[in-house]
Structure 1
Amino acid sequence: MLLSASILPAWACADAPCLDVRTLALALAGFTAFFFALLYASRFLPGREVMGFPQPDGARKRYRLNGMSLWVLTHMVVIAGTLHFDLSLSPLVTRLFWPLFVAANLFSIAWALLLYVRGRARLGDASASAPGLLGAIRDFWMGVERNPEWRGVDLKLFAYQPSLIGLWLFVLGFGYLQYESFGYLTPQMVLYQACWWLYLTTHYHHEPGLLSMWDIVAERFGFMLVWGDLALVPFAYCLAGWYIAAEPTPMATPLVLAIGAMFLFGLWVFRGANAQKHRFKVDRDARIWGQPPRLVGGRLLISGFWGIGRKLNYTGEIVLYLAIALCSGCGSYVPYLVPLWLLSLLTHRAGRDDRRCRAKYGALWDEYCQHARFRMFPFLY
């Protein structure tokens, strides 16, 4: 089935009853099996044992970081399935995409309810953020426990696995779809696949950096994070693939190279800034760009990216997602919804973080801002 680049993904299954009860049941069973296969693999696969950062109550957790093992295992399964069993992932993005989206939403609600009930049972009424129904709704949304576990697996950290590996399977599905439709992959499809592969591989390479992120250290684990991981990221972040898979005309080589360079620049800034921040938190004497770290007041880093802008990690993230959207060309606005949403979200978050840091550090923050003059965009913001 060929797709039209001018239509929305809903038409991808126009020739099949993709939302009938039988298909929905199959999708829910498949999604559940996928989730628990990753959960059990996360429990048993080898990985590094790493101490987490202090939580608001001062406690520190020990984590097993085996995401790279899971990432490699995923490749082995897909390659073996394709070569030896004629596996095709194209049904994931045609007949099963919307049933899987429904399944992901239902599973997210069920998991968040289970987390809420378990958290209240373990922590009691004292864990409620407020009495009554409004408090219960808030706790369902935000979560009750900060770091719920299942047999040694931190569930909040684990939620990245079905999120990102599910996203990767959809991305691969678009490649399978285009090859099965036209007999070849266009340069923009190859670039799209390469961008996501690099993004996800570097994610797993820098997996220890997750432990210093705000949502891992401080936020509770409820429906907001569950739904974002299971439904939002894998199903929304792959949007450009619909339009790339449907376009048989190769993109001009100079444009492909320019978009690839743009992606690499954004990835370098995004990963580099986050890695510098994480290394500084782990070891305040760690060298940055080959030099000893420079600090303001002995507390705020002004070396590397953090001496140029206050939130250049956000800037890099927006740039790399814009590059991924550009792989689809200009035939539709839909692929650009993700970078536009990130622009709105991260710009707001940068302003919020700036206000929070100014309240925390006072005059020291003003001094830091004299070095890192921009939040995200030089001369603009």
Structure 2
Amino acid sequence: MESYRMKITDELAEAAVLGGVFLGGGGGGSYEKGLKNAKEALKLGELYLVSLDHIKDDDIVITASAVGSPASEEQYVTPEYNKKGYKIFNELLKETIGGVITNENGGGSTINGWILSAMTGIPLIDAPCNGRAHPTALMGSMGLSLLKDYKTIQVALGGNPDKEKYIEVAVKGNLASTSAIIRQAAVEAGGLVTVLRNPVKAQYLKQNAAIGGLKQAIDIGNVFLKYKDDTENILEELKKRMSLEIIAKGVVKKYEINIQGGFDVGHVVINSDKRDYDLTFWNEYMTLESNGEILATFPDLIATLDEKTGKVITSADMREKDNIIVIKVDRKNLKLGKGMFDQKLFKQAEDVLNKELIKYIF
């Protein structure tokens, strides 16, 4: 395992967000909000990203997450919510917290835990639950959903008090039930809550987390920084790192999005050379098909880039008539946590999208 202690600078933070939004696969939050939160963290103190070997195997690590709909216009979370959530979590856990990890990579979610680490000094560990974004908390639980006796703690805060939306929730119990409560809290808060959850010993991460996932995001983000607005070179450099495949270049012919149960659910049709390519998303892009042929399914990384600038466009930010490049990175070339290998967690996606997924994945 590679050992490192990397000081987060302004440039490195921007690279992390740019790489994160690419690895979001259509979800994981926006570049703009992620960069804002990264800069906020750097104002609070020095911040270091460290490899897992910087803490002991028995140290307790918690996951920082954000739960909600990226398209929601009423979402509201402040840095103070992170601090208050940490205090509540400590009171419930009654053990010393030795580190924090993010739940996933994404424009916003790569930065999860940064503000908390800068505020408290607890180490920011490069062992995210997943190296790409995913729609549900259970998918980002590193396989804890497979452990029948595991009981979690989850603390969530969000909502604008001036609009009587503020909510704080603290729950203990099994993963499925507590995650459902947190998702509903996000709905009641106006679309988003900041969450701390799932205490585990650091040794659990070694076999179940996406080790080095944030370092990978930084590496990818540096490509976007170096070749800004140079789409051809961006794609060529990404191919060297991710073995990506360009599926189509075309125009967004149809775009539909609805917020259902705290998720963005939608459908995109892109026309390329008189051929239609259909994308479905559940926060993240879940399926890509054309003429009845399945070309990619989550957890393959499906991403959409602006054809002119190479900028990543998320599922929540896409619009009709956009000129888009659709790319695929096979799941074999991604850093995936153990939550991506639990077949039963994909049934909900099938039900929401009315699409078959499991038979293409397992």
TM-score by length of 2: 0.28
The structure having more radius of gyration, on CA atoms, is 1
Q: Which has more strand, going by share of residues?
A: 2
Q: Which has more helix, going by share of residues?
A: 1
